Amino acid sequence: MKKVIALVASALLAGPVAAYDVGPEKGDKSFTISASGNSDQDFDANTYGVNAELGYFMTDNWQGGLRQSANGAAGSDVNDAWLGSTRAFVDYNFSSGLTGNRTYIPYIGANMGYVYGELVENTGQAGVELGMKMYVLQKTYINFGVEYSWLFDSTDDFDNKSNDGFYSYNIGVGFNW
């Protein structure tokens, strides 16, 4: 009977101990690949695509890096076309997670970069973002993200264009090492 109690206690304690070891640490690098979609505010111009992201954890919480996106477009307000973007980002990862064991780590951040392609004049892009990393292994996660971005030609346009933005959403898989 003592062996059964010890076995059950070990099994119950192993989950939280193992779960605590998941997630990023200072100095970790990350790579995420994801499928993405964009919509204007009326959902009349939609894109679909793929994103690749390379990041670095400056602390257990702060992550910075680069994202590259390649997208196709479809919808009643656009002809079939392609576009891409290259953006730098900084995110704050809430290291305690939602459940206290770091399995689900929400994040919030901002990005800025450049958009190019058939649908836009080569122009600047800025945005805010939030999401969730769900760790399925110690250093492997599923990423769910949403961005609100806007385009601008100059610093004068930066504030004026923020109400004319678009939403981007993605789901992908990522790795820390």
- Tens of pLDDT, residues 1-29: 666 565 444 444 444 434 457 889 999 99
Q: Three-state SS for 81? A: strand
| Segments in 63-128 forming alpha helices (H) | none
Give residue 19's pLDDT: 47
Paired strand residues for 85: 69, 115
169: nearest Cα among 37, 9, 64, 21? 37
Mean pLDDT on 82-89: 94
Give residue 5's pLDDT: 60
What CATH number does the domain located at 2-176 have?
2.40.160.20
- pLDDT category at 102 given cuts 50, 70, 90 is confident
Whole-number Å distance between alpha carbons of 134 and 141: 5
pLDDT at 88 over 90: yes
